[in-house]
Structure 1
């Protein structure tokens, strides 16, 4: 086995328990293996970032668990299937499916966080509401927000020789680095946008969730 410097580290993924407390999982290694586990604990202060999608990018379901009303397709095959299905729907049927009085946000849409995001798991992303948003349209943006707001490097976990460069300052948020964590919240919506109400509901939901950050 090649020699490993005493300063070498491997990033360990941040996770949260049911009470919102951060924790890390790792494995034991022999004393001869000098690489250390790097656990980056998030700051205590939380500044929720409210990401509001377009209405066509929100997964909707019929009230009373009567099935999906609108599920934007992900990928080419799903897109072809959605277009084919739509050709057989008449205007009256579409009006029922898109009536905000008969539908509600569906938070159980596709959601998968890559392992390269060391400070976020799929379960935590779903808790923040990411599953309510169209995966192809918005999840790459949300993942980039996680990187830009919560890590000082563009490709966390990779060496700088492979293009992992420090991120430039992010305007007024740069002075908060290291003192606060801004977790992007992603509430979908089912009516013409009332941004004040959406933001207030997201902040209320966050505050009622016990956390120990």
Structure 2
């Protein structure tokens, strides 16, 4: 370098059209000055995040019904079954994009605002901070520019990931230096596809196709490739796969990263119908069958989370005095979901409200048409560039199977204190955990097997010619995309979860298909 030359570095300035220029100050000729313009990547590969069940904000007749706000959540504290069924009706609810957003202006003019990119659709408690961090990690090439203006040279997240192995994963999943360099040649605006998780995932998949078309149109002239990358959480993975593999959307998708996807369905869907939801979410959406069953029975989306045929037999067990039973033997739809007489059936007609016979017939159609067709048709089908992570911790007990376990008989005078559910005509009050049949009391017991607290390991298929990378890690279901690790002492980086690291790294692996601009 010529020591007689003065040198200045200039950052790119982005305009309203997503184009950049440089603002230079003229220098006298005699100063022999060199202005260095730091050219950023300019070709775009959009990344679209697809939330899970209960992960998109909903409204009904313009009013918030599912959003992380006091005004929304207070509606549920004292809501009875009738009100819940009315407010959470898939036919009258729609996506609400007015939710809270972290750092809306953080991306400047490089991309449209985060609200325009759909971030307001995402349920803030589950995704607010995660989306912000994910976008930061995908945009960490700014660090390379900033290094010209400071003495201490920092690494981008992708540079930190290079050569790093998470746990026992396969060596080919590790980023090489060349892959990292190639990944820095593109921009990755993060979008959110909010959808009505009460309606059929097939309907949501059709809307996803429309949304992908709109996103690609927004970046015409800037695209590195006329495709997007999808990042999904839980049920959002089923939406993405249905669009990709059943609706011929594969040609618009460069690759998919799935997080905690209930690939084969989960017995937890049965448990919710019979006992309500657990924890704080249960207080809101319904903590017993009387409150929650009328909502779920009318909602195709949650019903499509039930275990399909590929999950295998025997995940619903009955243990009584001197007897054992395991279902399904072959067909979970006929034996459990459409069963109208056995006390361990999925749906209680008497709890469906309104005209219960009409509601039962509609529920049957949802199982036969919406659930069965959707689940079985999707079995084993994946995009050719599929990457996925899932939870395997014993500290997040999950429902690989469920057991109706007989409890000791009680005197009739004590039964109301247990609040037994009415079964086969026994007029007992409702309860989230107990069943009473032919003089016997049964409690629904979770298996407590390893998983993420909702999806057990047995719900995940990890081998397929189309699955390129897999990470088994310690995460809980709702917080799968949490920013910080569950156990800092066992994570590769104490400030970043293995799941987020895997997600960003998988995006860069997927991008290797795209030629350098």
Answer whether TM exceeds 0.5 for this pair: yes
Residue correspondence of structure 1 range 34-49 to structure 2 within 5 A: 41-44=40-43, 46-49=44-47
1:153 deviates by: 6.2
Q: Which residue of 1 aligns with 2:67?
A: 71
Describe the shift of the 1:58–1:52 C-alpha distance in structure 2 as closer, same or farther (beyond 3 A): same
1:203 deviates by: 1.3
Distance in 2 of aligned mates of 1:186 and 1:160: 37
1:116-148 CA-to-partner distances (Å, cap 9, x unmatched) read 655667x62111111101234213222222222
Q: Is contact 2:141-2:156 (8 Å) kept? A: yes
Q: Secondary structure at the match of 2:103?
A: coil
1:209 deviates by: 2.6
1:99 to 85, 89, 93: 89
Name which structure has the greater RCO, CA cutoff 8 Å, separation 6+. Answer: 1
Describe the shift of the 1:7–1:150 C-alpha distance in structure 2 as closer, same or farther (beyond 3 A): same
1:202 to 193, 198, 211: 211
1:114 deviates by: 6.1
2:57 is aligned with 1:59: yes
Q: Secondary structure at the match of 1:51?
A: strand
Distance in 2 of aligned mates of 1:144 and 1:59: 20
Describe the shift of the 1:186–1:37 C-alpha distance in structure 2 as closer, same or farther (beyond 3 A): farther
Structural RMSD (CA): 4.0
Describe the shift of the 1:210–1:152 C-alpha distance in structure 2 as closer, same or farther (beyond 3 A): closer
Q: Which residue of 1 aligns with 2:129?
A: 140
Distance in 2 of aligned mates of 1:109 and 1:37: 42
Q: What is the number of equivalent residue pairs in this alignment?
A: 190
1:74-124 CA-to-partner distances (Å, cap 9, x unmatched) read xxxx4xx76654222111111122111111101122224266655667x62
Distance in 1 of aligned mates of 2:18 and 2:76: 44
Q: Which residue of 2 aligns with 1:125?
A: 114
Q: Secondary structure at the match of 2:114?
A: helix
Q: Which residue of 1 aligns with 2:101?
A: 111
Describe the shift of the 1:26–1:143 C-alpha distance in structure 2 as closer, same or farther (beyond 3 A): farther
- Which one has the largest radius of gyration? 2
Q: Secondary structure at the match of 1:61?
A: strand
1:178 deviates by: 4.0
Q: Is contact 2:139-2:188 (8 Å) kept? A: yes
Describe the shift of the 1:82–1:127 C-alpha distance in structure 2 as closer, same or farther (beyond 3 A): closer
Q: Which residue of 2 aligns with 1:174?
A: 180
Q: Is contact 1:70-1:97 (8 Å) kept? A: no
Q: Which residue of 1 aligns with 2:419?
A: none
Describe the shift of the 1:209–1:140 C-alpha distance in structure 2 as closer, same or farther (beyond 3 A): same
Distance in 1 of aligned mates of 2:145 and 2:194: 28
Q: Secondary structure at the match of 1:203?
A: helix
1:174 deviates by: 3.2
Q: Which runs of no fewer than 5 residues in structure 2 stay unpaired?
A: 1-5, 28-34, 163-173, 223-517
1:187 deviates by: 0.9
Q: Is contact 2:47-2:191 (8 Å) kept? A: yes
2:141 to 152, 161, 165: 152
Describe the shift of the 1:53–1:27 C-alpha distance in structure 2 as closer, same or farther (beyond 3 A): same
1:179-206 CA-to-partner distances (Å, cap 9, x unmatched) read 3322221011113545754542331111
1:38-80 CA-to-partner distances (Å, cap 9, x unmatched) read 8765523x322121112322111114xx31121123xxxx4xx
Q: TM-score, normalised by structure 2?
A: 0.31
Q: Which residue of 1 aligns with 2:268?
A: none
Describe the shift of the 1:142–1:12 C-alpha distance in structure 2 as closer, same or farther (beyond 3 A): farther
Worse-matched range after superposition: 137-146 or 152-161? 152-161
Q: Is contact 2:121-2:194 (8 Å) kept? A: yes
Describe the shift of the 1:180–1:26 C-alpha distance in structure 2 as closer, same or farther (beyond 3 A): closer
More strand by share: 2
Q: Is contact 1:22-1:41 (8 Å) kept? A: no
Q: Is contact 1:12-1:39 (8 Å) kept? A: yes
